[in-house]
Structure 1
Amino acid sequence: MTEIHDFQDLTDAVYTLALLPAAFSRKRVQNMFDHAARTTEASGGRPRPYSVVL
């Protein structure tokens, strides 16, 4: 049952990521991801695994 639950979370995340550009502009989505990455890094979380390209 845990595997099914984890798969459902992954599926929900993929659909959410796919729909974000449809609801918001590409620039706004990028800003949202950058803000989330900065917040995670500031709180001691894992750093973003890619370089920032503007």
Structure 2
Amino acid sequence: MDHEARITLRLPADLHTWLVTEAKAARRSLNSEIVYRLESERAATKADGTSP
């Protein structure tokens, strides 16, 4: 990552709870979990040749 951008993100409470649980299970911070999932999805989208 060359540059970072700070954002405010509003999530439904149940999605937040699920992400926190997933992050803990993977021993990642919530921020790292969100970035990991977004990057994984981006890589899968590029591999499929589809556009988001």
TM over 0.5, yes or no? no
Q: Shorter-chain TM-score category?
A: 0.3 to 0.5
Greater RCO between the two (CA within 8 Å, min separation 6)? 2
Which TM-score applies when normalising by structure 2? Answer: 0.44
